[in-house]
Structure 1
Amino acid sequence: MAIILAAITTTIKAAGLLIGIGKLTILPILIVAMAYFNYDLMDPENHPHVTKNLYTEYDFIVIGGGSAGSVVANRLSEIKEWNVLLLEAGGHETEITDVPMLSLYLHKSKIDWKYRTQPQNSACQAMIDKRCCWTRGKVLGGSSVLNTMLYIRGNRRDFDQWESFGNPGWSFDDVLPYFKKSEDQRNPYLARDKRYHSTGGYLTIQDAPYNTPLGVAFVQAGEEMGYDIVDVNGDQQTGFGFWQFTMRRGTRCSAAKAFIRPIHQRKNFHLSLWSHVTRILIDPLTKRANGVQFIRDNRLHTVYAKKEVILSGGAINSPQLLMLSGIGDAKHLNDVGINTIQHLPGVGQNLQDHIAVGGIAFLIDYPVSIVMNRLVNVNSVLRYTITEDGPLTSSVGLEAVAFISTKYANKTDDWPDIEFMITSTSTNSDGGTQAKNAHGLTDEFYNEIFSEINNRDVFGVFPMMLRPKSKGFIKLKTKNPLDYPLMYHNYLTHQDDVNVLREGVKAAIAFGETATMKRFGARFHNKPLPNCKHLPLYTDDYWNCVIRQYTMTIYHMSCTAKMGPISDPMAVVDHQLKVHGINGLRVIDASIMPTITNGNINAPVIMIGEKGSDMIKDQWLKRFKRSHSNTTSGAS
């Protein structure tokens, strides 16, 4: 009983991260039920322990314990002779973060960096202050702890294009083994296709344990539109299919759960949480990275790296830290009072993201969708905690995915330009609480468009543009490492992006008009948007206005330290992810992408972590063998 009470106490503390962002009346019951039925899983030893006394020197220092950094720390510490330190600005995951249905409740919580972009008129006009909310995980596991767990690898042509830019070893055939290396595919039908899938890896991939009757209908509607049903991580991307999730037994399988928990007792692995890195130490004469400074327990600490520093802070934090360390555009660094060590004008530039149009909802006549105040109850809580299934295992209603080509894409290429995220929910499904809060919608916009359909049965289609030509940038506000950088999204500043996203909206509405969806009584919630009422409804001008209002980031910020040859003036790292002009420093995360991949990017980021780790091992183990060989031959 003492163990159970301790588990309950731990879980209640975990729930504290939800305080201040809204109330879910069922939450106390969920807390107690999870503690009672799963207390054996809540042993504190199941969580990685923080190393109290750090060494002054490690072979490798990994900055950032997110999706890439967790992989790198795991793989490098496989070599027993190497000491590895992982530094993470946030703390531990909690039991609440495990629950798929609650992911929106994590936005703007204690484990979110709570970034907001600078106001711009091109997009996010329905958001407070016209600023987009860029949720990023400040927690071990990074954004894989807050995301919707969607596992999409991207398109073969993405990676072949990367290689064509002058990055040998990054073609699809080169990277596919690294996707498979991580994967533990739990769908036997998919797992039997050994060309594209594997089992036994650290990262569990499974189908949704819970689907509404809408789920199958979504895929049937795709067939009605003339599309194939496909494995979106298989041979063909164009088509409709069911999502594959980074889930394990109905709970979130974050990068921390997958890659860090299994290794937390390795003697050569040290973990420092609540450790905010402020600077990479670089010798200005040799241009070699030899350590880092970070704040922990309100004190500034310094640790040194014998071999390499690996920067895995993500597409916002990595360029910020490079600039704070004297690597970036010399003029910008001079403007904020930082001495330039290496002039690399591409740092913080080339920012790419996937955006979708929110609020495309279809009312239906049957109570089959996920409405929070109906399905999240005592029965669903008990079902979740005892049998690991039911509505709480749903990832906010995401049931089907589609990749389609608009008239602006070559349909024969199987390189679609729009992704549908199809849900048995929409913005109104929680009565105007968490979705509204997470997306940063103003009260005025939400009330005018959605209040009349609060908690009504709907399904939603979020058309997401896959290959944006609009590129944003990140720059420092000041040289204070605790000040957030300035983020400019530049969404929809390129006319081609406007055209593609507008056609995606039209296709989403056509999806809702299929006979399959009409059987549910589907009808588009066609309330005219406030800032677009002056335009004739459903014209191209009207839709062009619409997409600039409820512009949803899908939180795929990337490409801000792009990979490319030294001949590319905007490249930051080479094809081995080494920072140009700096020894002993690599960047391994989403920021190294030259172009964003065709789909949700968590799987590619984990792949980058796997491939980057092998590059490091290959270099240093070869060097060790050469050194050992020379010593042996000299002795003989």
Structure 2
Amino acid sequence: MAPIYIFQYLIISLCVQAFGVFVYIVYYTDFLLPTQVLESKVYDYIIVGSGTAGSLIAHRLATETNYTFVVIEAGGASNPLYEIPILGPMLHGSPYDWQYETIPQENACLAMEGNKCKLTQGKIFGGSAKLNNMIHIRGNISHYVNWFHGAHSESYIRQQFDFIEDNIIQLNKLRFTSQLSDYILEAAKELGYEELNNEYKIGFGKPLVSQINGKRWATSDNVKQKHVLINTVVEKLLFKKNRCYGIQLVNKKLFARKGVILSAGAFNSPKILQLSGVGPAKLLQSLEIQLVQELPVGKNLQDHIGTGLDLVLFNYSLSINAFNFFNALHVYNYFSQGKGPLTTTGCEVVGFVSTKSDTQPDIELMVLPVGISADRGSHLRNILRINDEVWNNYFAKLFDKHASTILALILHTKSKGEVYIKSKNPYIPPLIDPKYFTDGEDVKILVTAVKMIKEFIQTEKMKSFGAYLNEIPFPGCEGHKFFSDSYLECYIRHLTLSVFHPIGTCSMGLPDNKNSVVDTSFKVIGLDNLYVVDASVLPTLPSSNINAAIAMMASVFFDSQIKRKNIGQCHKRQRCFINYLSKDMCLKGDILLHCV
């Protein structure tokens, strides 16, 4: 390694380590502080998990009902510095990340240590929305209608999106992009693609992001701290016959009058259910856990996976790089105006394309202006667990170039995995086997998608910008002709990447379907007072980043299962009058009422 790159590595590593020390100090200071004193042991609703779904439900409970509730969060509180978008990846692998990983994969993740892919999930007040790319895209509305098996119309779901986008979620355009984004959009036009809107269709565009004044924003920002118990692990749910009446914490129990709402995510919601006796009978019996309800909890795991890191090269640096954070002007612009490179989400353009000449896309392309070689191996390589051979013989050879990524993701994987506990101890991580690429069709689609990336690089617009293809043979694939189908299959199976969109492990469906864990009202089948509302209930992957779909589902749950039950309940000392025009209408019998 040349001296200049060693110097860069040392400088970046020093800054990474300094921020890491800061993170640990903040985390353990909060962790060691006296825990919040609960107002009660009994609440109308207990929400387990403060991610997008849990926090949205909590916010609407606080602002639209008189119900009492508490949010239980296993992770720590956030910090103003964590809201700087460019620092999002710095929390990956930190105490604010569950630091989950797959079990060794036979058909994928071959470039990673132990053939295990990293599965980042937020362990922080706000959940994974505090670590993600902040992208908000509705996706294909018709898919959501299918999830509910006709219980809700397309018009109703659009209304839900309209409501949360207008009243709950903070959405804004990107406040900074590199030169690459405009060239990509021009290249997309050159290839015949249209501009993308906020919904589902083939095309390219700059996404809306959940930011406010350039700062990361999450639904948890709407929730008051008094309603949240942080650094608190739920050990199990409490049942009396088929009714869930509360939760077990490390040294206390909390009780729910109307419902326990699991919103702990696609890995932790099934884990908590299984620890509580809800899941596959054979698994629970092997761990001597009393069976409460046999359901396919943990099955049907799906994820958006792809490839393409550092595949686009330039002979000069773009306006965003690993050293932006050290620029005093950029720091000033962020804190004074909420602008500049520090506001970057990491993804500047998204595109939806079809590998089958269809009107429905099966691939998402995410344009990332900086590759993982940019930090010289100080952090990004470690959070992905890239092994030494691949790093030294591929990524480390790019230090004299500016590497960017057009990440190709398969939208609807046919390969499905599972999540299951391996112990009765709630502090031991679950085993996660996504079974990536066990269905060969997934590989074929990604092979075509990587060829599409090459088409982009070879457009006149991209060539005029100085872009060219990284032609270093990928370690382990040297025996194949470069960029042949067999080479690309080898490349994909080695450089397998999750964008951390796991879903499906507590799938929604009709009660008589053998794959269903919750019904279309989000209630766990066969059990009362227990609901699951998070990414785990999505039976299939959305045709977009998943955060918008999760927020919509949480809003549907609130309206259909909580607000409807609260209808007709006015605040004390209030009277109800007939009023068909008010936004605050409630229903009592067949008469619309308004509380005043």
Instruction: Give the TM-score of the pair, scaled to structure 2.
Output: 0.88
2:133 match:
148
Residue pairs, 1:489-568, within 5 angstroms: 489-568=434-513
2:244 match:
289
Contact 1:167 1:574 in 2 (8 A): no
2:358 match:
411
CA distance in 1, matches of 2:86, 2:288: 45
For each residue in 1:568-609, what CA deviation from the matched residue of structure 2 results, as whole angstroms up to 9, or x when unmatched? 011000100000000000000001111010111011111111
For each residue in 1:293-337, what CA deviation from the matched residue of structure 2 results, as whole angstroms up to 9, or x when unmatched? 113xxxx11011111111101000001111111111111110111
RMSD: 2.2
2:217 match:
253
Name whichever of 437-446 and 73-82 sits farther off: 73-82
Contact 1:468 1:497 in 2 (8 A): yes
CA distance in 1, matches of 2:301, 2:16: 40
2:193 corresponds to 1:227 = yes
CA distance in 1, matches of 2:557, 2:385: 35
2:399 match:
454
> SS at 2:235's partner residue?
strand
For each residue in 1:331-362, what CA deviation from the matched residue of structure 2 results, as whole angstroms up to 9, or x when unmatched? 11101110101111x20000010001042422
2:161 match:
179
2:12 corresponds to 1:24 = no
Contact 2:324 2:342 in 1 (8 A): no
2:514 match:
569
For each residue in 1:436-464, what CA deviation from the matched residue of structure 2 results, as whole angstroms up to 9, or x when unmatched? 12211112211210112226323321001
Instruction: Extract unaligned runs of 5+ from structure 2.
Output: 1-11, 23-33, 571-585, 591-596
Alpha carbons of structure 1 residues 364 and 375: separation in structure 2 relative to 1, 3 Å:
farther
2:151 corresponds to 1:168 = yes
> SS at 2:170's partner residue?
strand
CA distance in 1, matches of 2:145, 2:561: 22
Residue pairs, 1:240-319, within 5 angstroms: 240-257=204-221, 259-260=222-223, 263-264=224-225, 270-284=227-241, 287-295=242-250, 300-319=251-270
> SS at 1:531's partner residue?
coil
> SS at 2:386's partner residue?
coil
Give the counterpart of 1:361 among 300, 311, 318.
311
Residue pairs, 1:63-462, within 5 angstroms: 63-163=48-148, 166=149, 168-169=151-152, 171-183=153-165, 199=166, 201-231=167-197, 233-234=198-199, 236-257=200-221, 259-260=222-223, 263-264=224-225, 270-284=227-241, 287-295=242-250, 300-344=251-295, 346-373=296-323, 376-396=326-346, 398-407=347-356, 411-412=358-359, 415-454=360-399, 456-462=401-407
CA distance in 2, matches of 1:85, 1:445: 47
CA distance in 2, matches of 1:156, 1:508: 27
CA displacement at 1:124 relative to structure 2: 0.7
CA distance in 1, matches of 2:457, 2:35: 50
What amino acid does structure 1 have at the position aligned with 2:181?
A: G
Contact 1:365 1:520 in 2 (8 A): no
Alpha carbons of structure 1 residues 26 and 310: separation in structure 2 relative to 1, 3 Å:
closer
Contact 2:305 2:497 in 1 (8 A): yes
> SS at 1:347's partner residue?
coil
What amino acid does structure 1 have at the position aligned with 2:233?
A: H
CA distance in 1, matches of 2:36, 2:289: 32
CA distance in 1, matches of 2:587, 2:375: 62
> SS at 2:260's partner residue?
strand
2:3 match:
none
Instruction: Extract unaligned runs of 5+ from structure 1.
Output: 1-20, 32-48, 184-198, 631-636
Give the counterpart of 1:480 among 425, 432, 441.
425
2:31 match:
none
> SS at 1:479's partner residue?
coil
2:416 match:
471
CA distance in 2, matches of 1:551, 1:582: 38
Alpha carbons of structure 1 residues 374 and 277: separation in structure 2 relative to 1, 3 Å:
closer
CA displacement at 1:167 relative to structure 2: 5.2
> SS at 2:297's partner residue?
coil
> SS at 1:281's partner residue?
strand
CA distance in 2, matches of 1:492, 1:224: 32
CA distance in 1, matches of 2:441, 2:471: 25
What amino acid does structure 2 have at the position aligned with 1:380?
A: H
CA distance in 1, matches of 2:52, 2:548: 9
CA distance in 1, matches of 2:36, 2:261: 19
2:590 corresponds to 1:620 = no
> SS at 1:372's partner residue?
coil
CA distance in 1, matches of 2:35, 2:205: 41
2:41 match:
56
CA distance in 2, matches of 1:355, 1:318: 21
For each residue in 1:239-276, what CA deviation from the matched residue of structure 2 results, as whole angstroms up to 9, or x when unmatched? 0101211111011002212x21xx45xxxx63211110
Alpha carbons of structure 1 residues 395 and 622: separation in structure 2 relative to 1, 3 Å:
closer
CA displacement at 1:533 relative to structure 2: 1.0
For each residue in 1:474-527, what CA deviation from the matched residue of structure 2 results, as whole angstroms up to 9, or x when unmatched? 111111111111100111111111111111111011111111100122111111
CA displacement at 1:168 relative to structure 2: 1.7
For each residue in 1:120-143, what CA deviation from the matched residue of structure 2 results, as whole angstroms up to 9, or x when unmatched? 111111111111111111011000
> SS at 1:307's partner residue?
strand
Contact 1:99 1:393 in 2 (8 A): yes
Alpha carbons of structure 1 residues 549 and 129: separation in structure 2 relative to 1, 3 Å:
same
CA distance in 2, matches of 1:628, 1:202: 27
> SS at 2:231's partner residue?
coil
Name whichever of 367-376 and 608-617 sits farther off: 367-376
CA displacement at 1:95 relative to structure 2: 1.9
CA displacement at 1:77 relative to structure 2: 2.4
CA distance in 1, matches of 2:281, 2:363: 38
Contact 1:118 1:131 in 2 (8 A): yes
What amino acid does structure 2 have at the position aligned with 1:566?
A: P
CA distance in 1, matches of 2:308, 2:382: 13
> SS at 1:349's partner residue?
coil
Contact 1:60 1:310 in 2 (8 A): yes
